[in-house]
Structure 1
């Protein structure tokens, strides 16, 4: 499916959504998922940490890794299934894989308290040691403004039939960025209380990215590269450097990291859609892996594109990201009704709080 044949959904009926996906049954299933997850986390902390690192500990953790992959299948709501899948099936499993070899954020000598271990395992958090960022990160006004902007974006969907499809796609991208950043920012609040320290931001103004390397490595969802780097990139580069040399091994490591990220995104999309994978999402990340490797190679050989003025490099980077995402990432979500469900959940939640407010008055 090409961008020219991308059919955007009609959401004219969204205000009448009743929110079946967000009912008490879904909240009960969410509680059930985390009721199962907590004993598994306890097992990882109290039992597997006593097993020698390496294959023996990895085998002991295998039941946890497997069950973490299954738990999101109990949920269907976009806003409950998505974060649960990201926290447990993706980040949680990769953190445990690193922990099996005494690596990653879960490992320290001696081990932290169970509460610290569980929070680090379940939440996309990292303690911020850069004092210059504390004020910017902890500014609640910025978060409130982004919540307001997300509400405006969702409301604009009512008028999408009057908009050009490209404009609607931009709304989808804003929706994705704001939704993910707000959820991750909210997750840092309990972590801040637990750790007594500010958390590093998960995003660093990705709309200012001047290159693919800048976007994926330094600005977008920074917990993911911080986990994939030691789990995929470093071992791949170390192994292939004996065959290809250090510089080429770096490029192979980049592509391998994007391949793994593509598979994990394909899994997340399966949790959303429950439809057989079409590998469009994986293709998006593989494409970006090769393009980023080519970009890094060009920088090393030609001092390009690092010498391009930001006024040109930033819009070019964003344009490439949006065009490839509209081509390969949006179609599975639109085709399987995930976009309609996500927007419907916003309206259902707003209706719920509005009705409670009226009863309170």
Structure 2
């Protein structure tokens, strides 16, 4: 019932107010970027908007809205604005206002459609249906968590994270495509086929994050300290931002485990790059590299990443909110049915 009460008592209202505030703030950011040259002055003009984006998740009372707004705005949106201050990144003040706002506040990278219509099938609705079918099953399975082993439960969390992210991104894709008539760059590219950590993090999983961290962290650090330092700095920033996302969601102090997870992966990815730079050195064949990569990601995730969620009570929080959402939708359906019957009886 908590989620239902939150939605009816103010969460929707908070969402409307936040949306209006973000639209106004991004309109100002676009105007400031158009008037000022890239550099310190433009960056200074954009900092108030960055501060607003970082504060917005606290406007919501549910972890679902706090986490989503934290990822969309406090992380991706803030980094995009900082890059805009330097005159790089995906944002351009010459974009139409609607395109600028969507590019700045959603986890998307927009590209104009080519004259020839793409032959690729529209997978957004199919992904929404698939994820929408899997997630209720995951939520139902949480009822039996007391009888599950540790690794069974962590595997269930992994499935929940994957399909929740896929549902979120597929929904954004469908809305953006239909409303703005623009195509999105792919967000996830079959991560289960990754043959190395560099392949997994750089080319397959949550692609908007590496596309933002490359120009903002990796390239500047690499130019000064070398490739390995650039890789490690990128994973460090990613770990710290994940800690911030967990703080937004759970309102508890970071444990450091998530940062340790990304630092470990950064060190291993840097080692992979060093090994790959030596021509002729042995490399595992792809049929072996893929399961080894996935085993490492899953094993370290079970060890460091997912336990941080369990300790913070995120699973219980999300379960309560999902159950509350079901109650809210049932109540809304009853009201709609009652209103329909009333209209029918008066005709």
Tell whether the structures are fold-level matches, with TM greater than 0.5: yes
Mapped partners of 2:315, 2:282: distance in 1: 35
Matched, 1:60 2:36: no
1:295 aligns with 2:272: yes
Sort the Cα spacing of 1:40 and 1:232 in 2 relative to 1 into closer, same or farther, 3 A: same
C-alpha distance in structure 2 between counterparts of 1:273 and 1:158, whole Å = 21
- Cα distance in 2 for partners of 1:307, 1:320 equals 14
| Other structure's SS at 2:120 match | helix
- The verdict on how the C-alpha distance between 1:177 and 1:133 changes in structure 2, with shifts beyond 3 A counting, is farther
When normalised by structure 1's length, the TM-score is 0.85
TM-score by length of structure 2 reads 0.89
Partner of 2:304: 328
2:137 aligned with 1:152: yes
Q: 1:170 and 2:155 equivalent?
A: yes
| CA distance in 2: counterparts of 1:81 and 1:25, whole angstroms | 14
Cα offset, 1:93, TM superposition: 0.8
Partners in 2 of 1:187 and 1:281 — Cα distance? 27
Please name the residue that 1:122 is paired with: 105
Alignment of 1:124-139 (within 5 A): 124-127=107-110, 135-139=120-124
* Cα drift, residue 136 of structure 1: 4.3
Q: Which residue of 1 aligns with 2:325?
A: 349
Three-state SS of the structure 2 residue aligned to 1:301 is: coil
Match of 1:187 in 2: 172
Paired with 1:151 and 1:305, the residues of 2 have a C-alpha distance of 45
Aligned 8 A contact 1:295 1:305 in 2: no
- Structure 1 residues 321-330 or 21-30, which shifts more? 21-30
- Kept in 2, the 8 Å contact 1:116–1:194? The answer is no
User: 1:298: how far off?
Assistant: 1.7
User: Following TM superposition, by how much is the alpha carbon of 1:172 offset from its aligned partner in structure 2, in angstroms?
Assistant: 0.2
Change over 3 Å in CA distance of 1:20–1:30 after alignment to 2:
same
The change in CA–CA distance for 1:290 and 1:303 in structure 2 (over 3 A counts) is farther
Q: Residues 73 and 250 of structure 1: is their aligned pair in 2 closer, same or farther, counting only changes over 3 Å? A: same
CA distance in 1, matches of 2:330, 2:91: 41
2:75 is aligned with 1:90: yes
Alignment partner, residue 7 of structure 1: none
Within the alignment, does 1:204 sit opposite 2:181 as a pair? no
Over 3 Å counting, the alpha-carbon distance change for 1:300 and 1:137 in structure 2 is farther
Post-superposition offset of 1:144: 0.8
Distance 1:134 1:140 in 2: 16
The residue number in structure 1 matching 2:212 is 227
Q: Provide the aligned length of Structure 1 versus Structure 2.
A: 335
In structure 1, the partner of 2:242 is 265
Specify whether residues 255 and 106 from structure 1 end up closer, same or farther in structure 2 by C-alpha distance, changes over 3 A only: same
Please, which runs of 5 or more residues in structure 1 have no aligned partner? 1-15, 241-248
Query: C-alpha displacement at 1:134, in angstroms?
Result: 5.8
Decide whether the 8 Å contact of 2:79 with 2:216 is kept in 1: yes
Dislocated runs of 4+, deviation >6 Å? 129-133
